[in-house]
Amino acid sequence: MCGIVGYIGYREAWPIVLKGLKRLEYRGYDSAGIAIINEGGQNIYKKVGKVAALEEFAESQDKTGTIAMGHTRWATHGVPSDRNSHPHTSNNNKLSIIHNGIIENYATLKEELISRGHEFKSDTDTEVLIHLIEEIQKIEQTDLLEAVRLALKEVTGAYAIVIMDRENPDQLIAARKGSPMVIGVGKGEYFIASDATPIIEYTKNVIYLNDHEIALVTKDDLLVKRLDNVVQSPLIQELELKLEMLEKGGFDHFMLKEIYEQPRSIRDCMRGRIYPEEGKVQLGGIKEFVEKLKNIDRIIIVACGTSWHAGLVGEYLIEEYARIPVEVEYASEFRYRNPIITEKDVVIAISQSGETADTMAAIEMAKERGATIFGICNVAGASIPRLSHAGVYTHAGPEIGVASTKAFTAQVTVLTLMAFYMAQQKGTITQSKLISLLTELDSIPDKIQIALESNDIIKEVAAKIKDSRNCLFLGRGSGFPVALEGALKLKEISYIHAEGYPAAEMKHGPIALIDEEMPVVFIATQNSSYEKVISNIQEVKARKGKVIAIVTKGDTEVKKMADYCIEIPDADEAFLPLLATIPLQLLSYHIAVMRGCNVDQPRNLAKSVTVE
């Protein structure tokens, strides 16, 4: 988490860095700060709260200068406060630093530095690093680049850092390990940021810095070397991102825009990958592993949060169609077990951001043990696709709302394609079945469009249950991960306690919670478990629970029992998660808005969880 932005060039740096921080606010919004150098010296402004608070605080200050760097924080070490905000400075205040990540051995380094006379002004791990750099520069009598290189060899943990020296206003130093960093290459200017969004309106040419690389950036030149001192020739890539993708486009919130984008994002995800008339799925990203896929013993899916829910949907689909056993693991648990992994395993890592620390660690462990890694990721060029042997991008476009919506449905789409692809390669599906499934899949974006048309009814339901203190989401089969996802969406943006459960498990415990105060949302579409879900609905009604049911259009049975019904179009069971998720996203959204919550930036959360 945390977002970083740096600029060096010929333009006024403050507006560039400030705007960049606003774009990166999804990464954390506990505090913000900017350091800027001009002829008068270095000015540092920092403030607890959002970037807007910093903007107001610095309104009448001197903000001139053509070199600057800024930070938006998601607190780890030290409470959110002005003094813990970045940038942090060295003991002599000459050097300043911004940092995304965690310096794990900061406590021992700090003790050593204190014994050498250093005084600390914050509780952060980051401040320790800049003091260490200062100390090494003093002892080794080296230039700043070399001091940073030597200091980074002493630290453990993750970092994307930018460093400025007020006595050397012609350079920025940047480095990364485990946290993302993009360098924008302009003419007579360079930009540094956690992702490409602060850079896109100035240049399309970018370099993704690799782990263990350090860069010396001046306005006309860039030197990249590895921590072992070997100079690198960085690859300049062209961004596909468009500026309008980063704006709300008339919607009140990014989350709502992203919910409504789903017909488009799913179409983009399938483009060039399905050929319904021929009954063919093409996944260029994993095609060189096709022989391996025919002979694997099992698939392990690793992910966190919403991406883990997509993994559970993937389990149903891959087992159903490709007949390969699948295990779905929380990356954070998997990495600290001693799991049995062999060279015959394929590990699918799912991540919207491609930067989630636990998922990355799980990949590294599985790779060491010989597994083949497939990444499913939304952000191009992020760490997870780079760590993977092969993979498939979701192509959902930038997701800015902290609560994941269109990324989830795109992940499910990719997993559906993978299941069909593997089934086709292994011969576990007939050609006629594949043609019929692909033909229907092709129409799913239109069906999502129809599902979105229930918005007004969903708003009415939201008004009825917005003051609840708890809410239960129940589903069976692939409706279970949908229930989990519905519950997660509600709790993260509206702060209502919500649980997702397999409907049949209700009687083993959660049924004790049911009374007239408890809304229970059922995924009750007409599929193989329809009759059984109806029985579960009756169990809730018998205890005076309030039932909200997601039903197939034209349903009459559930309507007799439920307090409120929300219809979605009929579809093959394989596509139920893609459709049933839509009303749940809208339900959470409207409840959160009605409760006055900050939908796009819910408290305590960050979009990119780069710490474990």
Position 359 contacts ligand F6R (CB under 6 A): yes
Residue 588 touching ligand F6R (CB under 6 A): no
Residue range at the interface with ligand F6R (CB under 6 A); choices 122-130, 349-357, 466-474, 565-573: 349-357
Q: Which residues ranging from 222 to 261 are in contact with ligand F6R (CB under 6 A)?
A: none
Quickly list H helices, 427-524: 431-452, 455-465, 479-494
DSSP letter (8 states) at residue 42: E
Closest CA to 269 of 140, 124, 444: 444
Choice between 472 and 488, CB closer to ligand F6R: 488
Q: Which is nearer to ligand F6R, 349 or 562 (CB)?
A: 349
Of residues 148 and 304, the one with the C-beta less far from ligand F6R: 304
Q: Which of 70, 56, 55, 57 is nearest to 13 (CA)?
A: 70
Nearer to ligand F6R, 13 or 366 (CB): 366
> Measured at the alpha carbon of residue 385, what is the angle toward residues 297 and 208, in degrees to the nearest 5?
160
Task: Kindly state the smallest distance separating residue 265's Cβ from ligand F6R, in Å.
Answer: 15
Number of residues that bind ligand F6R (CB under 6 A): 14
What contacts 350, CB < 8 A, 6 or more positions away? 301, 302, 303, 307, 308, 310, 311, 314, 359, 376, 377, 411, 415
Q: What is the token pair recorded at 174? A: 């940047």
Sheet strands (E) in 274-361: 274-275, 280-281, 298-303, 326-330, 345-351
- Residue 313 C-beta: closest distance to ligand F6R, Å: 13
Contacting ligand F6R within 385-414 (CB under 6 A): 403-404
Looking up tokens 């300049």, which residue turns up?
A: 236
Closest separation in Å from C-beta 397 to ligand F6R: 15
Applying CB under 6 A, among 416, 609, 610, 611 the residue interacting with ligand F6R is: 609
Taking residues 286 to 315 in sequence order and writing x for each that binds ligand F6R by CB under 6 A, - otherwise, the string is ------------------xxxx--------
Closest to ligand F6R by CB, 352 or 454? 352
User: Minimum distance between the CB of residue 118 and ligand F6R, rounded to whole angstroms?
Assistant: 36
Question: What is the C-alpha to C-alpha distance for residues 437 and 441, in angstroms, rounded to an integer?
Answer: 6
Among residues 2, 269, 304, 377, the one annotated as catalytic is 2
What is d(CA 521, CA 488) in angstroms, rounded to the nearest whole number? 13
Query: How far apart are the C-alpha atoms of 366 and 347, rounded to whole Å?
Result: 7
Please pick, from the candidates 351, 372, 527, 588, the single residue that binds ligand F6R as defined by CB under 6 A.
351
| Binding range to ligand F6R, per CB under 6 A, among 241-249, 353-361, 367-375, 458-466 | 353-361
Hey, what's the torsion of the CAs at 246, 250, 252, 254, to 10 degrees? Answer: -20
- Is 304 annotated in the active site? no
Closer residue to ligand F6R in complex, CB, 488/514: 488
Which of positions 467-496 make contact with ligand F6R (CB under 6 A)? 488, 492
Q: Describe the crossing of helices 144-154 and 125-140 by its angle, rounded to 10 degrees.
A: 120
User: DSSP assignment, residue 178?
Assistant: B
Out of 353, 372, 536, 610, name the contact with ligand F6R by CB under 6 A: 353
Nearest residue to the partner ligand F6R, using Cβ:
305
Reduced to 3 states, what is the DSSP secondary structure of residue 34?
A: strand
Closer by beta carbon to ligand F6R, 135 or else 485: 485
Those residues with Cβ within 8 angstroms of residue 545's Cβ, 6 or more apart along the chain or in another chain = 472, 514, 515, 516, 518, 519, 520
Residue 401 CB contacts under 8 Å (≥ 6 apart), including other chains? 26, 253, 254, 255, 257, 258, 599, 600
3-state secondary structure of 609: coil
Q: How far is the CB of 174 from ligand F6R (least distance, A)?
A: 23
Query: Which string of x and - marks every residue 48-87 that binds ligand F6R (by CB under 6 A)?
Result: ----------------------------------------
Question: Nearer Cβ to ligand F6R, position 403 or 582?
Answer: 403
Are 459 and 465 in contact by the 8 Å Cβ rule? The answer is no
597 is catalytic: no
The residue from 46, 406, 489, 607 that is catalytic is 607
Cis preceding linkage at 445, omega within 30 = no
Which residue, 66 or 404, is less far from ligand F6R as judged by CB?
A: 404
CA distance 194 to 306: 22
Query: Smallest distance, Å, CB 609 to ligand F6R?
Result: 5
Helix (H) or strand (E) holding 140: helix 125-140
Residues that bind ligand F6R (CB under 6 A): 304-307, 351-353, 356, 359, 403-404, 488, 492, 609
What residues act catalytically? 2, 607
